[in-house]
Structures are given as C-alpha cells and as structure tokens.
Chains A and B, each alone.
Chain A
Amino acid sequence: MKLSGGRILMESLLENQTDLIFGYPGGAIMPIYDALYDYKDKLKHVLVRHEQGAAHAAEGYARLSGKVGVCFATSGPGATNLVTGIADAMMDSVPLVCITGQVYANLLGTDAFQETDMIGVTTPITKWNYQITKPDEVAETIAKAFYIARTGRPGPVLIDITKNAQIEKADFKYPQKISIPSFKLPGKPNDNLVKQAAKLINNAQKPFLIAGHGVIISKAFNQLKTLAQKADIPVASTLLGLSAIPSSHPLSMGILGMHGKYSTNVLTNQADVIIAVGMRFDDRVTGRLSEYAKQAKIIHIDIDASEINKNTIANVAINADAKSALEALIPKISKNEHTSWLSEFNRLDQIEFEKVTTKELTPQNNKIKMAQVVNMLSDKTKGRAVVVADVGQHQMVTARYFKFQKNNSFLTSGGAGTMGYALPAAIGAKMAQPQTEVIAIIGDGSFQMTIQELATIAQEGIAIKIIILNNKFLGMVRQWQDLFFDKRYSFVDLKNPDFVAVAKGFYIYGEKVTSYSDLEKAIERLLKAKKSYLLEVEVEKETNVFPMVPAGASVEEVRLE
C-alpha cells in the first residue's frame, strides 16, 4: 500500500504508542499537518504558542508518562525555536523525538525560504539526528529515532523531513526489527565489580548514597530504598534525584550540591564510601573538584560509560542502569547499622535548622518568604502533588522545602537551567497524569520567558496550578551580585506586568497575595480550584538562598549565611 511520507509518519508514530504531539505548523511541515488532520482521533495535537514550549511540554510529558515525548515544528525559525528545549532534554536525559519540516530536497543548500541546516544546528545537542529526503526512509528512520531516544541513557532525537518526502508516496512497511549495528547497549552489571562494590559497602563506616536522575529514569525506587535500609546508609539526592526516595524516609537526607543541605555537603567530605547512583558529578554537585570527597572510595553506577571517570575517578565503576546494578548489589550487602554516622547528619541538620530554616519559616513581619509558600504548599498537598519548578531562587527553595512523598514528582530543568521551562513542562506533565495535581512554581523572571503558553493551557482547558513567587528581581543573579559582585545590581530589576490581569486576559483566573496572614487561605483556594488558577505571591525582595556552596568553593565550605 502506497502512502504519502506524511501518512507514513503518522502510522509510524502510532506504532510507537504515541498519542500526543506538541507542535506548531508552518510552511515546510504543512503536508505532515495535512496528514495529521486524518489522524486527529488517534493522535492528539496540542498547539503551543512558541516551539520552545512544545519541546518543554514534550519533556514534561515524557518524564511523567514514561513514553517518548513528540513535537512538531516547521523549518527555519520554527525549528530553531525548538533548540533550547532540545538542549535541555539532552542535558537532563529526556527522551524526545522532534520532527521538523524542511525545504524541498532540490532546494537544500540554496538558502531557500525558511531553510536552516538543522542537522548542523542540533548535532551537538541531540543523541541522534537525521534528515529524510525520500518517503521510503520515513518508517525505518522513525523506528530508529524512537529506539535511540528511549534506549540506554535517554535523550532527544531530531528528524528533519524535506517537504517532498512528506508529499511523495512510498510503500508503508513498518520495520519489525531495528538494526543499528553500531548501537552500544549498556551491559549487565559486571559480577566482579559488583562484588568489589559490595565489599567496600560492607566494610564502610561512613557510607553515603547519592541518588541521581538515573534512579528515577530506571524506576529503581524500591532497590534504592532496599539498599539504603539493609545497610543503613543515608541517601542524599541531586536536584534531579529528588523524589527518588520519599522526603519523609528516615534515611532521606535531602538535596546536596550548591544549594543543597549543610549536612549533605559537609559530610560528603567525611564519608568513607560514596555510592553514586545514576548521577554525573556535575559541577553544581561537586563544587571544587580537587577538594571533592578525596577521602572517600567512590562507587559510580551509571548507564553512560562516558560519565565514568569524566569528573571524578571511581574506585569501582559499574556501567549499567541503576536498577539492574542495585538489584545485583543488594543480595551481596550485609545488614548493617551506622547509628553514629547517621547522627552526624542529624546534628548538622539541627545547625541548619537553627541558622537557616527557622528564620525562613517563622513569620517575622507580615511579609512572605518563598520558603513559607513552598512549605505551606507541601503541607497542604501532603507532598503528593507533582511540582514543576522553573529556574532561579524559587527553584532552589522548592527543592529545599517541598517534601516529595511520591516517586518522580519533581520536574525542573537541571543541567541546562532553562528559564521558562516550568509553564510548558507543567502542560506536558498534566496531560501525562490528568488526575494528579500539577503545580508550577515559577519566578517572575522565568514566567515572562514562556508566558504565552497560558493560551495553550486555556485552549486545552487543563487545570494547572501556577504559583508566581514575585520578588521583582532576577533573584538568583541578584543574589550572586550581592555576594560576589559587591552588590552592584546590574540589570536585575524587573518592572513586572500585573500577572493576575495578564492571566485573566488568557482566561485563567487567580489572585495576588502580599501579606503572610492571607497566604494560607489563598493556597487553599488555589488547591481547591477545579480549573487552572494563578496565585501571585509577592515575596520579600532581597532574600538569599542558603546554604550555598559558592561557585569554585569546596563542598565543605558550604555557607549558612
């Protein structure tokens, strides 16, 4: 049966269980959209208002549905608008298949209207990319694209399809088997290395587990908990590892790294064995590398061989996915107790509580602090909502104060630090889990980067709860200018629009609170709302997020003020 390239694409998406596409049409992708018109009942399409929103929404969808996120964009500016989202997905290992339209094959390389070399542009920020110029390439390429995006360490794939390949017809036969001879599948955990790791753990006096995003991606929640409980090991999380273990678990020590906890940072440099699971020793985690955990033996579990020994040298490296590595490890681990080591965490937590947390949470005047909002939200939702945080101070405060009780319930842009991530990502998250309360926590600066997606929310009629923590500053940059640039506040002041009025213009209703005494009731109204609701909270203008490991400092130099 001969089908147009556009129809072959639709059939191939269905073969991959795609049911939702985020996209934006335009000239060079019109034949694909024409094919989509006939598949409307099987392939839902969400019309975003900017292609960056499509990529982030697809990321949110992928992270909460466990499927591959799909987005469509036209050639040229449509495709380049996807780039930030693709780079974000590459950094945070999110499986995406991005389809971009391209000019007719006979015009390639001629600077045709809306022609941009997307293979050239996206090569460094995709796991794989490919340009299709003939319809008979579509089925096999899409099969490969999905396989590559979701297999091993997940990541974004971009497929650029010339307009003629969308229109011309070819026989449709979906490949039963995908053959990529050079594709390197992660192996099984090596027995000998697992034994060595187990020996280190069993002999450790001060073992320390670090849970990264890999724990969440491989759904190794039970394995992580079992290992931690069996050997009585404290667990810290990277930013993207949050919600790998419930915050209320007695062995959960919270976040580490630049704005991590005092205890997790200081004790990183006292642990004798560090078991790093599905994380990549990012500079925001390690601080100054030359003084990072030099005393510790490091066991590094990662699915990506190129992460091993990239930043820190592992004593034992297990190149496998987190789940299979932990499963192999658990039977070899002896029951253990580390009471005095654990009490060190509690002791330092107490210091942090007195110096930072109480100050942040106790109302002093009627002004509102970011921490109070997040803490109250955490209590009111019992930590069971999905929280999507944008990038900046509010993100770090959310990471610190929300007590995640559900696995995989925190979405944020980790590696790339993409402002504007949260609103579109929340759209994808809500569409992946319509029954779950999805709350986007966004700074006033970040909100204005993708604010147009309010229209998408209104058009889809989905219920997303939006909290704007408004300090009328680009707060994190201001904090750095305060601490490291002699308070020279260079271009961080924001004269903001009336966010409630703006939202109302998009048919999303909400309110603004300015005093602490009104906060609780406002949060209750936000959570009770059946439709999308925006709560703008005017927070203290100049507060800094602590603890903080200043850039380039050692983790043990973590500052409390």
Chain B
Amino acid sequence: MNITITIYSENKPGVLYRIANLFLRRKVNIESLTVSEIKSEDRSRFTIVVKEDLSLVAKIAKQLERIIEVSSVEIHTDNELIFKDAALIKISKNPKVVKKLDSIISLLKASIAYQNDKYIIIEKLGTEEDIDLLVSTLEPFVKETVKSGRIALPKNGQ
C-alpha cells in the first residue's frame, strides 16, 4: 500500500541525510521524495512515498520524530490526500503527432511548455496513472520523460 509520509523539519543542511539513514536502517525503499522550503516559517517539508505496511511506517514515523531537526511527522493513505506528480515529456515534432496533439492535451489536461523545430515539451500535472496514460498515448514519439516526486496535502485536518 502507498503511504505518504510528510515530515516537517528545520531548514538546515543534513536533515535529508538523517531521514534517508533511517529508511536505510529499516530497509524501506523510498518510492518518491519531494523536498521543499516553507519560506514563511524557515522550515522544510519532505513528502515521501513508500510501499509498506502502515504499522511499520507508523514505527518509522516515530523514529523520524527522534531526529532533533524534525518537528513533526504525519502519515497518510492515498484516500486521505490530494496528491499530484508533475511530468515533462519531450516528443519529436512529427506531423503525425502534431495533428492530434491539441485534442490529446486538451483531453488529458496537459499543456505545451516549449517547442522548437524538432521537439515539443509537454507539461502535465496529475497522478502517476494520469501521467502514464499521457505518455503511452504519445508513446512512439516520446524522446524523454521526467517525473517529479509526489506533492500532497491532506483533504482534512492540518
């Protein structure tokens, strides 16, 4: 099961190392990781996705809270969250795809971020499945895809 761990910490060097170390000790693979600054509070937010049992993740969460720089840790299942990944998809500017592109991006809620003579870069915000669907639709023309880690906010509570 996907569990999203949200860690709030002081915005200082080395915190990621301490967090990553704990996942290593518990032999838990990080599926996705997003770190961002909460500017107004001089804190950082780590959004980490793992595929593990909730009970193990709950233990890890408490151990993460032992890290001095970490102020709090929350864990959520997917149904408790609004979550998105971002992707940039570079495709070749082939007439076959250019013809259909407007309808594809409007149907799949993407947009064109950049284009030149040879390539078009498409941007897409959505779930992993949304992004996969877009990539597979564009498949023969896709040169390169890059995906971000998950960003998430709980639907309720804090």
Q: In the complex, what's the smallest C-beta–C-beta distance from B93 to chain A, in angstroms?
A: 44
Choose one: B17, B68, B71; the contact of A148 (CB below 8 Å). B68
Q: In the complex, what's the smallest C-beta–C-beta distance from A181 to chain B, in angstroms?
A: 7
| Residue contact A128 to B68, C-beta cutoff 8 Å | yes
A29-B128 Cα distance, complex, nearest whole Å: 52
A561-B17 Cα distance, complex, nearest whole Å: 48
Closest to B69 in A: A182
Question: Which residues of B sit under 8 angstroms from A123, Cβ to Cβ?
Answer: 14, 17-18, 21
Whether A306 contacts B10 in the complex (CB less than 8 A), given A123-B18, A181-B71, A182-B71, comes out as: no
Question: Which residues of A sit under 8 angstroms from B17, Cβ to Cβ?
Answer: 120, 123
A182-B18 Cα distance, complex, nearest whole Å: 14
Q: Find residues 53-104 in chain B having any chain A CB closer than 8 Å to their own CB.
A: 58-59, 62-63, 65-66, 68-71
Whether A182 contacts B66 in the complex (CB less than 8 A), given A119-B14, A310-B59, comes out as: no
Is A304 in the interface zone, CB < 8 Å from B? Answer: yes
Q: In the complex, what's the smallest C-beta–C-beta distance from A319 to chain B, in angstroms?
A: 10
| Residue contact B25 to A124, C-beta cutoff 8 Å | yes
Choose one: B21, B59, B70; the contact of A182 (CB below 8 Å). B70
A310-B65 Cα distance, complex, nearest whole Å: 14
A335-B62 Cα distance, complex, nearest whole Å: 36
Question: Which residues of B sit under 8 angstroms from A1, Cβ to Cβ?
Answer: none
| Residue contact A182 to B14, C-beta cutoff 8 Å | no
Closest to A128 in B: B68
Q: In the complex, what's the smallest C-beta–C-beta distance from A387 to chain B, in angstroms?
A: 31
| Residue contact B66 to A306, C-beta cutoff 8 Å | yes
Choose one: A120, A183, A309, A310; the contact of B68 (CB below 8 Å). A183
| Residue contact A182 to B9, C-beta cutoff 8 Å | yes
A128-B66 Cα distance, complex, nearest whole Å: 10
| Residue contact B65 to A180, C-beta cutoff 8 Å | no
Whether A305 contacts B21 in the complex (CB less than 8 A), given A181-B10, A182-B10, A182-B70, comes out as: no
Is A495 in the interface zone, CB < 8 Å from B? Answer: no
| Residue contact A304 to B66, C-beta cutoff 8 Å | yes
Question: Which residues of B sit under 8 angstroms from A184, Cβ to Cβ?
Answer: 65, 71
1/0 per position for B1-44, CB-CB distance to A under 8 A? Answer: 00000000110001001100100010000000000000000000
| Residue contact B62 to A180, C-beta cutoff 8 Å | no
Q: How many A-B residue pairs have CB under 8 A?
A: 37
| Residue contact A306 to B71, C-beta cutoff 8 Å | no
Is A127 in the interface zone, CB < 8 Å from B? Answer: yes
A309-B136 Cα distance, complex, nearest whole Å: 45
Choose one: B9, B18, B62, B68; the contact of A306 (CB below 8 Å). B62
A124-B14 Cα distance, complex, nearest whole Å: 13
A304-B67 Cα distance, complex, nearest whole Å: 12
A305-B66 Cα distance, complex, nearest whole Å: 8
Q: In the complex, what's the smallest C-beta–C-beta distance from B35 to chain A, in angstroms?
A: 16
Q: Find residues 174-229 in chain A having any chain B CB closer than 8 Å to their own CB.
A: 180-184
Q: In the complex, what's the smallest C-beta–C-beta distance from B118 to chain A, in angstroms?
A: 40
Q: In the complex, what's the smallest C-beta–C-beta distance from A427 to chain B, in angstroms?
A: 30
| Residue contact B21 to A124, C-beta cutoff 8 Å | yes
Q: Find residues 92-129 in chain A having any chain B CB closer than 8 Å to their own CB.
A: 119-120, 123-124, 127-128
A127-B18 Cα distance, complex, nearest whole Å: 11
Q: In the complex, what's the smallest C-beta–C-beta distance from A119 to chain B, in angstroms?
A: 7
Q: In the complex, what's the smallest C-beta–C-beta distance from A104 to chain B, in angstroms?
A: 19
Choose one: B9, B10, B62; the contact of A305 (CB below 8 Å). B62
Choose one: B62, B68, B70; the contact of A127 (CB below 8 Å). B68
A124-B71 Cα distance, complex, nearest whole Å: 18
A182-B65 Cα distance, complex, nearest whole Å: 9
Q: Find residues 394-443 in chain A having any chain B CB closer than 8 Å to their own CB.
A: none
20 contacts between A and B (CB under 8 A): A123-B14, A123-B17, A123-B21, A124-B21, A124-B25, A128-B68, A180-B68, A181-B71, A182-B9, A182-B10, A182-B68, A182-B70, A183-B68, A184-B71, A305-B65, A306-B59, A306-B62, A306-B63, A306-B66, A308-B62
List 12 additional A-B contacts (Cβ < 8 Å) besides A182-B10, A304-B66, A306-B63. A119-B14, A123-B14, A127-B66, A128-B68, A148-B68, A181-B10, A182-B9, A182-B70, A306-B62, A306-B66, A310-B59, A310-B62
